[in-house]
Amino acid sequence: MVIQWYPGHMDKALREMQKTVKLVDAIVYVLDARAPYSCINPKYKELIGNKPALLVLNKADLVEENLLNEWVNLFAHYGYESIMLNSTITNATKMVLSKMQILLKDKIQRNKAKGVHLPLRFMVIGVPNCGKSTLINNVCANKKTETGNKAGVTRANQWVKINSDYEILDTPGTLWPSFADKKVALNLAYIGSIKDEVLDIEELGYAFIEDIKKTFFENLKQRYALKSCADDETITIFDEICINRGFKLRGNEIDYTRGAKSIIDDFRKGRLGKIILDNIEDAKNGLKNI
């Protein structure tokens, strides 16, 4: 399955971000906790440059905490501060501002020594549908930016003033022109960072089962009351899921489209339990290029 989605507005958005990054003091880099490595956009490396950056493992409630702690430790090994977060919980994002106070303590002290009070400015970046706007709305304690559980809701930069101390720049979710790693592309599709309309949903559902049956088969088994086992052919498991859910067409044929949509939707909404898609061992070499 070949996955490719890089609409023109993303290229434009990245150019705008490169122009405005000089106006901010630090970067808040939002990653979907279910695919932290896959959410790292190689195009952001030049954008971030030497700016202080905080990695936010968002949607952390959808992954086991002990697994995310391994990623926090790995990021720390490469010199990056990171936190686990569920930005839908009221006031949860206060820790973002607390961490920024620490990352920018030298700048704060310099301003204080000069007798000036300037708001700290952050740029929030990430792939589509990783929860950037939800995080910002939480920080602001009320809805300031448009959100949605699909890719490409934010289409332009939006400055949001929290108070006299902080200003945040919300940016469109951006991908990169081509995916060298097929697994990364699939993971981004599973979490909704790639527009569903450009995907073959039946192939995506099949690929998802193929991927997670290796390590999270029990999640599938419990959700769909499966008699199959992890060693069975993927199509056998796919068939049983569709049959158990009553996804049939005329002539008693299996409706794979409905089945695939249901499986992907169950995963995205956490109904399959806590699942992480990225393997931390596979990611170690790639993280050198964060």
Q: Shortest CA distance to 77 belongs to which of 250, 287, 245, 276?
A: 287
In this predicted model, what pLDDT tens digit does every residue of 77-119 receive, in sequence order? 988 999 999 998 988 888 999 999 999 999 999 999 999 989 9
Of 89-98, 128-137, 280-289, least confident by mean pLDDT is 280-289
Q: What are the structural domains of the chain?
A: 8-179 (3.40.50.300), 200-268 (1.10.1580.10)
Q: Shortest CA distance to 179 belongs to which of 169, 189, 170?
A: 189
In this predicted model, what pLDDT tens digit does every residue of 2-20 receive, in sequence order? 898 888 989 999 999 999 9
pLDDT band at 148 (very low <50, low <70, confident <90, very high): very low
The reported pLDDT for the residue numbered 156 is: 63
